[in-house]
Structure 1
Amino acid sequence: MSPVPTFDDRIRGADDAFKLTVENAFDLRARSDVMPTSVAPACSSDMFKSPNCYHKPRAKCFNHRLSTEAKRRQPSTLKAAAMFLKDPDLISLCGGLPSPEYFPFENLQLQVPSREALSKRHVNMGKSMENMDSVLRAGKSDIREGKSVYDLEIALNYGQATGSAQLMRFVTEHTEIIHDPPYSDWQCCLTAGSTYAWDTTLRILCEKGDFIITEEYTFASAIETATPLGLRVLGVEMDDYGLVPEALDDSLNNWNYQTRGARKPFLLYLIPTGQNPTGATMPLARREAIYKVAQKHDLFIVEDEPYYFLQMQAYCSRGTEPASEVSRGEFLASLVPSFLSLDSDGRVLRMESFSKVISPGARTGWIVASQQLVDRFARNFEVSSQHPSGISQLALFKLLDEYWGHAGYIDWLINLRIEYSRRRDVMIHAFEKFLPKEVARWKVPAAGMFCWIEIEWRKHPGMALKGDHDSIEEEIFLSAVQNQVLLSRGSWFKANSAQQENRMFFRATFAAASPEKMVEAIRRFSDVLRVQFHISL
Structure 2
Amino acid sequence: MAPPAAIEVEAMTDTQSISQSTPTTFPHKTESFYRRRAPTDNEPKSQWGTAAPATSAQFKHSSTKGKPLARRWDDLLTPETKARKGSTLKAAAGFLSRPGIVSLGGGLPSSSYFPFAQLSVTVPAPGAFSERETSQSGVQLSADKHSLQTGQSIFDISTGLNYGQGHGAAQLLRWVTEHTELVHAPPYADWGCNLTIGSTSAIDMALRMFCAPGDAVLAEAYTFPTFVEASRPMGLRTVGVPMDEQGLEPGAVDGILEHWNPAAHGGARKPRVLYTVPTGQNPTGATMGEERRRMIYEVCCKHDVYILEDEPYYFLQLPTYDADATTQTEKASSHADFLAGLIPSFLSMDVQGRVMRMDSFSKVIAPGSRVGWVTGSEQIMERYKTHVDCSTQGPSGFSQIVLFKLLEEHWGHGGYLDWCKYIRSEYTERRDVIVRACEKHLPRDIVSWVAPKAGMFHWMKVDWKKHPLAASWTHQEIEEQIFMAGVDHGSLVTCGSWFYADDDVEEEQMFFRATYAAAPFDQIDLAIQRFGEALRDVFGLQNQIEEL
Report the TM-score when normalising by structure 1.
Answer: 0.94
| 1:519 equivalent in alignment to 2:525 | yes
Which letter maps to 1:187?
Answer: G
Instruction: Tell me the amino acid that sits aligned with residue 29 of structure 2.
Output: T
> Residue 367 of structure 1 aligns to a residue in which SS?
strand
Residue aligning to 2:484: 478
- Displacement after TM superposition at 1:18 (Å): 10
Q: Which residue is 2:3 aligned to?
A: none
2:78–2:208 contact (8 Å) kept in structure 1: yes
The match for 1:390 is 397
Q: Which residue of 1 is the match for residue 258 of structure 2? A: 253
2:18 matched residue in structure 1: none
8 Å CA contact 2:468, 2:539 repeated in 1: yes
Q: For residues 321-360 of structure 1, what are the structure 2 equivalents within 5 Å? A: 321-324=327-330, 325-360=332-367
In structure 2, relative to structure 1, the CA distance for the partners of 1:116 and 1:294 (3 Å cut) is closer
Aligned-residue CA RMSD (Å) = 1.5
Does residue 368 (structure 1) correspond to residue 375 (structure 2)? The answer is yes
1:421 & 1:159 partners in 2: Cα distance?
39
Q: Residue 107 of structure 1 is aligned with which of 118, 121, 129?
A: 118
Compute the displacement of 1:501 (Å): 1.5
Asked if 2 retains the 8 angstrom alpha-carbon contact of 1:18 and 1:50, the reply is: no
Match of residue 81 from structure 2: 70
Answering whether residue 104 of structure 2 is matched by residue 93 of structure 1, we say yes
Q: Which amino acid is 2:343 matched to?
A: V
Contact map agreement 2:26 2:185 (CA 8 A) in 1: no
What is the aligned partner in structure 2 of residue 315 from structure 1?
Answer: 321
- Following TM superposition, by how much is the alpha carbon of 1:233 offset from its aligned partner in structure 2, in angstroms? 1.0
Note if contact 1:488-1:507 (Cα within 8 Å) is conserved in structure 2.
yes
Is 1:23 the counterpart of 2:31 in the alignment? yes
Cα distance in structure 2, aligned partners of 1:33 and 1:277: 46
CA distance in 2, matches of 1:271, 1:209: 23
Q: CA deviation at 1:321?
A: 1.9
Provide the rounded CA distance (Å) in 2 between the counterparts of 1:484 and 1:258.
46
Aligned to 2:12: none
Q: State the shift of 1:318 in Å.
A: 5.2
> 1:444 corresponds to which residue?
451
What is aligned with 1:166?
Answer: 171
For 1:197, give the aligned amino acid.
Answer: A
Q: Following the alignment from structure 1 to structure 2, what is the Cα–Cα distance between the partners of residues 251 and 98?
A: 54
Alignment partner for residue 291 of structure 1, among 297, 305, 313?
297
Summarize the alignment of residues 29-428 of structure 1 with structure 2, pairs less than 5 Å apart.
Answer: 29-30=37-38, 34=44, 36-117=47-128, 125-260=130-265, 261-317=267-323, 320-324=326-330, 325-428=332-435
Does the 8 Å CA contact 1:20/1:173 hold for their aligned counterparts? Answer: no
Contact 1:279–1:445 (Cα < 8 Å) also in 2: yes
Q: Is the 8 A contact 1:18 1:52 kept in 2?
A: no
Distance in 1 (alpha carbons) for counterparts of 2:57 and 2:385: 15
Write the distance in 1 (CA, Å) between the matches of 2:95 and 2:537.
71
- Whether the 8 Å CA contact 2:127–2:418 is kept in 1: the answer is no
> Shift of the alpha carbon at 1:56?
1.5
Q: Deviations over 1:76-121 (max 9, x none)?
A: 2111111111124211101100000000011100100002525xxx
In the alignment, what sits opposite 2:6? none
Q: Secondary structure at the match of 2:240?
A: strand
Q: Distance in 2 between matches of 1:128 and 1:522?
A: 31
Deviation for aligned residue 1:344 = 0.4
Quick check: 2:122–2:139 contact (8 Å CA) kept in 1? yes
Q: Distance in 2 between matches of 1:462 and 1:438?
A: 17
> Within 2, Cα distance between the matches of 1:236 and 1:517?
35
**SS where residue 308 of structure 1 aligns?**
coil
How far did 1:496 drift?
1.1
Report SS of the residue matched to 2:309.
strand
3-state DSSP class of the match of 1:309?
coil
Displacement after TM superposition at 1:319 (Å): 5.1
Q: Is the 8 A contact 2:124 2:133 kept in 1?
A: no
Structure 1 residues 130 and 314, CA, compared in 2 at 3 Å: closer, same or farther? farther
CA contact (8 A) 2:321 2:432 kept: yes
What is the Cα deviation at residue 127 of structure 1? Answer: 2.9
AA at the equivalent of 1:249: D
Partner Cα distance (2:127, 2:299) in 1: 46
Q: Distance in 1 between matches of 2:216 and 2:521?
A: 41
3-state SS of paired residue (2:228): helix
- Give the match's secondary structure for 1:461: coil
Contact kept, 8 Å, 2:86 with 2:390, in 1: the verdict is no
C-alpha distance in structure 1 between counterparts of 2:178 and 2:144, whole Å = 25
Q: Is the 8 A contact 1:18 1:51 kept in 2?
A: no
Residue 144 of structure 1 deviates from its aligned partner by 1.4
Answer with 215-224 or 126-135: which moved more: 126-135
3-state SS of the aligned residue for 2:135? Answer: coil
Provide the rounded CA distance (Å) in 1 between the counterparts of 2:62 and 2:486.
Answer: 57
Compute the displacement of 1:322 (Å): 1.4
Identity of matched residues, %: 47
**How many equivalent residue pairs?**
514
SS at match of 1:352: strand
How far, CA to CA, are the matches of 2:70 and 2:269 in structure 1?
Answer: 25
Give the direction of change, closer, same or farther, for the CA distance of 1:341–1:132 in structure 2 (3 Å limit): same
1:426·1:515 contact (CA, 8 Å) conserved in 2?
yes
Shift of 1:316: 3.2
For 1:459 and 1:382, the matched residues in 2 are separated by 55
| 2:276 and 2:310 in contact (8 A); partners too | yes
CA distance in 2, matches of 1:109, 1:436: 51
In the alignment, which residue of structure 2 is the partner of 1:122? none
Choose 19-28 or 343-352, whichever is displaced more.
Answer: 19-28
Kindly indicate whether the alpha-carbon contact (under 8 Å) linking 2:495 and 2:512 is maintained by their aligned counterparts in 1: yes
Q: Please tell me whether the aligned partners of residues 318 and 429 of structure 1 are also in contact (alpha carbons under 8 angstroms).
A: no
Distance 1:69 1:483 in 2: 50
CA distance in 2, matches of 1:510, 1:479: 20
User: Which position in structure 1 is the counterpart of 2:9?
Assistant: none
Letter in 1 for 2:70: A
Instruction: Return the letter of the residue paired with 2:507.
Output: E
Residue 245 of structure 2 contacts residue 286 of structure 2 at CA under 8 Å; is this kept in 1? yes
Amino acid at match of 1:379: T
Aligned partners of 2:503 and 2:451: how far apart in 1? 26
- Is the CA contact 1:19–1:52 (under 8 Å) kept in the aligned structure 2? no
